[in-house]
Amino acid sequence: MTVTADTPAVAIRFTLNGEAVSALDGETILQAAQRHGVEIPHLCYTNGLRADGNCRACMVEIEGERVLAPSCCRQPDEGMTVHSDNERARRSQRMVLELLQSDMPETTYTRDNDLDSWSQKLALGKPRFAPRPAVAADLSHPAMAVNLDACIQCTRCIRACREVQVNDVIGYAARGSSSRIVFDMDDPMGDSTCVACGECVQACPTGALMPANDAGLQQPDKRVDSVCPYCGVGCQLTFNIKDNRILHVEGRDGPANHNRLCVKGRYGFDYVHHRQRLTRPLIRRDDAPKTLSPDIDPSDYSGIFREASWEEALQHAAGGLRDIRDRKGRKALAGFGSAKGSNEEAYLFQKLVRTGFRSNNVDHCTRLCHASSVVALLEMIGSGAVSNPVQDVAEADVIIVIGANPTENHPVAATFMKNAVKNGKTLIVIDPRRNNLARHAQYVLQFQPDTDVALLNGIMHAVIDQGLADKDFIADRTNGYEDLKKHLENFSPEAVAPLCGIDAGTLKEVARVYASANASMILWGMGISQHSHGTDNSRALISLALLCGQIGRPGTGLHPLRGQNNVQGASDVGLIPMVYPDYQRVDNEDARKRFEKLWGTELDPEPGLTVVEIMHAVLDEKIHGMYIMGENPAMSDPNLNHARKALASLDHLVVQDIFLTETAFYADVVLPASAFAEKTGTFTNTDRCVQLGRQAIDPPGEARQDLWIIQQLATRLGCDWHYEGPQQVFEEMRKAMPSIAGISWQRLQQQESVTYPCVTENDPGQPIIFREDFPTGDGRAQFVISPYRHAQETPDPEYPFVLITGRQLEHWHTGAMTRRATVLNELEPSPVASLHPDTLRELGAEAGDPITLSSRRGNVEVTARADDAVQPAQVFLPFCYHEAAANLLTNEALDPDAKIPEFKYCAIRVSTL
């Protein structure tokens, strides 16, 4: 058990080595001993894993018992007499260590060998037993080295893989002295289903499992605590640095991850050292006109860009923007900020656009992600952020995961969902693909894509029909129920079953399970949001939760899993055309007046344009100049041929990034910026936790801090800014944003993580919100009905397949970072599309063949991957490969309310070569 401040103070008094000691309720003898400073050797026991009691190094004598007892697994009784250091106990402890040492190899695999350190402490001599036969190394995995000659069969790796991460790759096979840890069915690690989360490496006490290439043997010269740059889970980690290079990464005990990491966070850090890092400002050559395809080698751009000094580049960059603002009007400019940069950077960016460009044409990739979820949440319950943190799955009885693939995209969050299932919670997975979470679920609804509204309305109908609607909650805390009820009359389970492909019985059962549980929680992702009816999809989910009163308590609520590491933060600090920081509308007079006062200048009262609208406006020649920081619309926007045409036609484009991305290809000026590990700033994860990222290494060459670059441009655009660093920016943010007013920089440095709303400095932060009321006008939630509509483009004889775009575990979004991370790119090196094996056969193709996917808008060539998790007549395509950019195919049909494109559904055809 973990002893915390809340642990009851009931003491069990016993005697240890002649001294009177006491154990807290639930403590084992070993834990009590540790607390009293008494060392008992132990190998298979470690904090954070279930105690297994197999190594037998921790044996103690309990008076009155025939045999010795494993102190890691025994709780003391009142009055017990225990000996850990008498002759009998020591003999067993030493013999165990000696037996294990006799089989250990000469080679050192780790600087941190628990068996060696205990052997030294107990002054063990050379082992007297002949060693076992040697075991060959398994170096088949790019990230991890397996040297089982150093394995002591402590099974910590098994518990790490099976009980912590629940990836279920490592097994304990055979028997007796042949017992060995295996991957899958005794396969090389690199061939197995291992997802390289590295939890086993972190758990291994003897170096049998280590980072590859001896990375763990090098002595770092400093260790820096920070957070992960990839996804919205916001895992805390530690960078191990030597000579300004990251050696390796370890998990840290943050509230969202508890020492866990995934393959990206743990092994995908070396992109910061890639040779293609931008190190000098670049200016477009006069003799290099913009072409449509970003057909450039990021290593050799000399035909298109020339290097320049910072002074020249900043002059040119700001000058061009200022020019357009002054001559063509302030609405002729737009800015895309970054959801990967810090809160401070995002805050200054939107301030630059609002006070420097003087319009509200600022947006970021949330538009392509959870915009529809946020619109629906704001509309119905007055707040766009999650109501409960991911960790609340442990408090829930029932968990619905819909339109999300967390084992790939929020892997550490998914581990907690799997833990909840192992603890007896009910998991319901709703997705057109049978994803890796489905195996753990009690209910798997592999429905027809695009039919979410029908399915959810059907479930709601069944809730009401079975008398399971929460009448009190509806009466006390909502408006509009009668309209919803009437609307749902046409959506009986029997009526929707043929539409969504899930039988009425299952829909009713799911309704019953969700509604009648004490605490039910819904988590969702892009499958819900990235549709031209994404807002309607989200409305249906929110209605379901409200209908059943499953919100405002632990283990309940609504959790749109935020993708980017700082998309929540970027949205919160106002990187959005319609709202200022903290979602105060730009067309609200009170809000605007407050910000005019805070920023000392007049502000545009008209909401700005969103991402895709901006592309249209460029082609309509309404927008002539753009400033894009840490975003890659030339890969992430829908209908890329169209979007790229827009980027190419800009009069002036300034791109600030760490690599020459596909977007930078269209730039007039490229400004080399700082990677995540090279900056200090705050980042807000999906749970509304503001966390501190600390700088661990220096940027390469002449690359500069993003914060500095933004300020330089702002100054040249007429802003009078004097921020010395992120801390100062943060202090201003607190003034602008009531939600974080209670978080000081000092508090972040001490606590590492503070949840908002945190209104005063004494406020501990509120992980669960909506307990009493909703932040709407009258404190009530509003039901909004969802009509059933189809995607804008559906399959037809010419384009008979459905294209579903999405992500992979190993790659992040447009691939700018992860294609340049050695391990990640080796695990997934080139473009693939997944199709059902039957579909491939019908096409006359085999798994591994090259195939072409074409839509009305473009085509790509990829390798076919046979995967029966995908339904026939559907194709899954990740959007991370620039050689086969998925968005060349996608449809830019927008949700009318959220303006989010329909990434999850369009019509394609598949042909073999």
Partner 1 sequence: MEAKSASRPKHKRKRTRSKPRGRAVEPLALEQVRRLLGNEPRRRDLLIEHLHKLQDSYGGLFARHLVALAREMNLAHTEVYEVASFYHHFDIIRETDPDPAALTVRVCDSVTCEMFGANELVQQLGSSVGDNIRVQRVPCVGRCDRAPVAVVGKTPVDHASPSSVIACIDKDKAAAVAAPCTGLEQYRSEGGYVLFESLLAGDISPKDIITKLNDSGLRGLGGAGFPAGRKWQIVSGMPGPRLMAINIDEGEPGTFKDRHYLERDPHRFLEGLLIAAHVVDVAEIYIYLRDEYADCRKILQRELALLQDNAALRHPPIQLRRGAGAYICGEESAMIESIEGKRGMPRLRPPFVAEVGLFNRPTLEHNLETLYWIRDILQQGPEWFTSNGRHERKGLRSFSVSGRVKKPGVHLAPAGITMHELIDEYCGGMLDGHTFHAYFPGGASGGILPASLGDIPLDFDTLNEYGCFIGSAAIIVLSKHDSVKTAALNAMRFFEHESCGQCTPCRVGTAKAVTLMEQTNWDQPLLHELGQAMMDASICGLGQAAPNPMLCVMKYFPEELTHDSDS
Q: Which is nearer to partner 1, 744 or 863 (CB)?
A: 863
* Distance in Å, CB of 179 to partner 1, minimum: 3
Under the binding rule (CB under 8 A), the answer on residue 296 touching partner 1 is yes
Q: How far is the CB of 59 from partner 1 (least distance, A)?
A: 5
In the set 153, 206, 387, 839, which binds partner 1 (CB under 8 A)? 153
- Give the HSE-up count for residue 482: Cα atoms under 13 Å, Cβ half-sphere: 0
By CB under 8 A, name the one of 53, 449, 638, 672 that touches partner 1.
Answer: 53
Residue 429's CB is within 10 A of a number of other CB atoms, namely 26
Residue 175 lies near partner 1 (rule: CB under 8 A): yes
Of 142-150, 243-251, 525-533, 840-848: span binding partner 1 (CB under 8 A): 840-848
Which listed residue (214, 297, 620, 842) binds partner 1 by CB under 8 A?
A: 297
**DSSP assignment string, 181-223:** EEETTT--GGGSS-----HHHHH-SSSSEEEGGGGGGSPPSEE
Using the rule CB under 8 A, is 829 a contact of partner 1? yes
Q: Which is nearer to partner 1, 62 or 784 (CB)?
A: 62
Among 40, 62, 160, 170, binds partner 1 (CB under 8 A): 170
Distance CA 903, CA 723 (A): 39
Closer to partner 1 at the Cβ: 203 or 866? 866
Among 38, 49, 104, 152, interactor with partner 1 by CB under 8 A: 152
Q: What is the DSSP annotation of 604-636?
A: --S----HHHHHHHHHTTS--EEEEES--HHHH
Cβ distance to partner 1 smaller for residue 48 or 171: 171
Site string for partner 1, 117-136 (x = CB under 8 A): -----------xxx-x----
Q: Is 10 in the site for partner 1 (CB under 8 A)?
A: no
Looking at 98-106, 594-602, 696-704, 785-793, which segment touches partner 1 (CB under 8 A)? 98-106
Hey, which residues does 13 pair with through a beta bridge? Answer: 22
Asked if 78 is part of the footprint of partner 1 (rule: CB under 8 A), the reply reads no
Closer residue to partner 1 in complex, CB, 131/498: 131
Judged by beta carbon, residue 161 or residue 510, the one nearer partner 1 is 161
Number of residues that bind partner 1 (CB under 8 A): 79
296 or 655: CB nearest partner 1: 296
**Counting contacts by CB under 8 A, is residue 437 touching partner 1?**
no
Strands of 793-896, DSSP E: 801-806, 832-835, 850-854, 859-866, 874-878, 891-894
CA–CA separation, 481 vs 64, rounded Å?
68
Between 542 and 851, name the residue whose CB sits nearer to partner 1: 851
- Is 270 a binding residue for partner 1 by CB under 8 A? The answer is no
**Nearest CA-CA partner of 55 in 165, 179, 195:** 179
Spacing of C-alpha 675 from chain mean position: 18
Residues 352-371 within binding reach of partner 1 (CB under 8 A): none
β-pairing, 520-524 vs 398-402, is parallel
Q: Are strands 180-183 and 170-173 parallel, antiparallel or unpaired?
A: antiparallel
Block residue for tokens 């298979």? 44
C-beta separation of 891 from 901 below 8 A: yes
Q: Interaction with partner 1 in 247-266: which residues (CB under 8 A)?
A: none
Residue (172 or 599) nearer to partner 1, CB: 172
Using CB atoms within 10 Å of the CB of residue 5, give its burial: 0 to 12 exposed, 13 to 18 middle, 19+ buried.
exposed
- For residue 908, the cross-strand partners are 801
Q: Which of 193, 518, 746, 794 binds partner 1 (CB under 8 A)?
A: 193
Stretch that binds partner 1, among 388-396, 676-684, 754-762, 821-829 (CB under 8 A): 821-829
Which one of residues 9, 67, 136, 475 is an interface residue with partner 1 (CB under 8 A)?
67
Sole binder of partner 1 in the list 269, 301, 730, 788 (CB under 8 A): 301
Contact 403, 526 (CB under 8 A): yes
Alpha helices in 717-803 (DSSP H): 726-736, 745-751
Does position 25 bind partner 1 by CB under 8 A? no
Q: Which is nearer to partner 1, 61 or 582 (CB)?
A: 61
Q: Among 164, 171, 169, which Cα is nearest to 203's? A: 164
Nearer of residues 184 and 503 to partner 1, judged by Cβ: 184
Write each residue from 761 to 800 as x if it is in contact with partner 1 (CB under 8 A), else as -, in one continuous string. Answer: ----------------------------------------
Instruction: Tell how far CA 406 is from the center of its chain.
Output: 8
Q: Are strands 859-866 and 443-445 parallel, antiparallel or unpaired?
A: unpaired
Q: Which of 178, 219, 760, 762 binds partner 1 (CB under 8 A)?
A: 178
Please name which of 838, 867, 843, 842 lies closest in space to residue 853, comparing C-alpha atoms.
843
Return contacts of 815-818, CB within 8 angstroms, 24+ apart.
815/635, 815/880, 815/881, 815/882, 816/632, 816/635, 816/657, 816/658, 816/659, 816/661, 817/229, 817/230, 817/268, 817/271, 817/659, 818/264, 818/268, 818/271, 818/880
Of 206 and 695, which CB lies nearer to partner 1 in the complex structure? 206
600 binds partner 1 (CB under 8 A): no
Select 177 or 794, whichever has its Cβ closest to partner 1.
177
Comparing CA positions, the residue from 732, 736, 855 lying closest to residue 792 is 855
The distance from CA 244 to its chain's CA centroid, rounded to whole angstroms, is 26
For residue 93, how many C-alpha atoms fall within 13 Å in the half-sphere facing its CB?
A: 28
Instruction: State the nearest-atom distance from the C-beta of 129 to partner 1, in Å.
Output: 4
Q: How many CB atoms lie within 10 A of CB 201?
A: 26
Minimum distance, C-beta of residue 303 to partner 1, in the bound complex (Å): 5
649, with CB counted inside 10 A (0-12, 13-18, 19+), is middle
The reply to whether 139 sits near partner 1 by the rule CB under 8 A is no
**Minimum distance from CB of 837 to partner 1 (Å)?**
8
Q: Rule CB under 8 A: is residue 168 a binding residue for partner 1?
A: yes
Cβ of residue 170: shortest distance to partner 1, in angstroms?
Answer: 7
Q: Does 103 bind partner 1 (CB under 8 A)?
A: yes
Task: Rank residues 252 and 836 by Cβ distance to partner 1 and give the closer one.
Answer: 836
Cα torsion 498, 484, 583, 254: sign: negative
Applying CB under 8 A, which of residues 1, 10, 134, 174 lies at the interface with partner 1? 174
Candidate segments 171-179, 321-329, 729-737, 888-896, binder of partner 1 by CB under 8 A: 171-179
Asked if residue 81 binds partner 1 (CB under 8 A), the reply is: no
Question: Counting contacts by CB under 8 A, is residue 411 touching partner 1?
Answer: no
Pick the binder of partner 1 from 32, 68, 381, 462 (CB under 8 A).
68
Compute φ and ψ for 541, nearest 5 degrees.
-65, -45
Closest approach of partner 1 to the CB of residue 836, in Å: 11
Site for partner 1 in 847-886 (CB under 8 A): 847-848, 863-869, 883
Q: Which two tokens stand for residue 677?
A: 């590990």
**Contact between 172 and partner 1 per CB under 8 A:** yes
CA dihedral 328, 329, 332, 335 (to 10 degrees): 130
